[in-house]
């Protein structure tokens, strides 16, 4: 292989690695991303409209921020698409308490809260109790930490 071909191959490999890293970072921005479906397939809008976790349906899905989200209905999907940042869980659906502590952790659908119109998920109901004890300070810490850990 001549020098020109080697340099071209090296540049192509670097570009491929950069794309893989970007895609991994995007996927990492959401928790519970299984086979490209974010927040374990739960409908983010239902947390607001029904006050509880509702499993989404693949028939009502949308792509957003590099992942697929499932919704319980076409209406919920359309509501989400009209204002995704309002309904998407903070910290990509990762545990808000963990983000406040500077790391990433998965979540369970039942451990959620809506604070100031935003959805926050937690690792477990036990962790949610800790989270509930000082949400305001945890949110400040998580907002500060999130850019570094996502």
Q: What is the residue-level pLDDT of the chain in tens, covering all 150 positions?
A: 555 543 333 333 333 333 332 333 434 456 555 567 888 899 999 999 999 999 999 999 999 888 899 999 999 999 999 999 999 999 989 999 999 999 999 999 999 999 999 999 999 999 999 999 999 999 999 999 999 998
Residues 148 and 94 in one domain: yes
Domains contained in the chain, number: 3
Residues 21 and 61 in one domain: no
Alpha helix positions (H), the chain? 3-28, 44-49, 74-82, 84-87, 96-101, 125-133, 135-149
Structural domain containing residue 16: 1-29
Residues 111 and 142 in one domain: yes
Which of these, 75, 61, 66, 85, lies nearest to 28 by C-alpha position?
Answer: 66
Residues 55 and 71 in one domain: yes
Report CA torsion sign: 57, 58, 60, 61: positive
Side-chain half-sphere of 98: how many Cα atoms within 13 Å?
Answer: 19
Residues 77 and 109 in one domain: no
């Amino acid at each position: 292989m001549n020098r020109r071909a080697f340099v071209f191959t090296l540049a192509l490999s670097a570009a491929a690695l950069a794309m893989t890293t970007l895609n991994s970072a995007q996927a990492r921005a959401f928790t519970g991303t299984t086979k490209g479906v974010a927040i374990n397939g739960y409908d983010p809008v239902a947390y607001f409209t029904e006050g509880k976790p509702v499993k989404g349906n693949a028939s009502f899905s949308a792509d957003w921020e590099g992942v697929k989200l499932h919704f319980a209905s076409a209406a919920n999907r359309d509501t989400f698409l009209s204002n995704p940042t309002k309904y998407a869980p903070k910290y990509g659906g990762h545990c808000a308490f963990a983000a406040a502590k500077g790391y990433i952790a998965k979540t369970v659908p039942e451990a959620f809260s809506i604070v100031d119109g935003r959805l926050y998920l937690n690792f477990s109901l036990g962790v949610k109790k800790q989270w509930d004890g000082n949400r305001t300070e945890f949110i400040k810490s998580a907002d500060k930490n999130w850019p570094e850990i996502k």
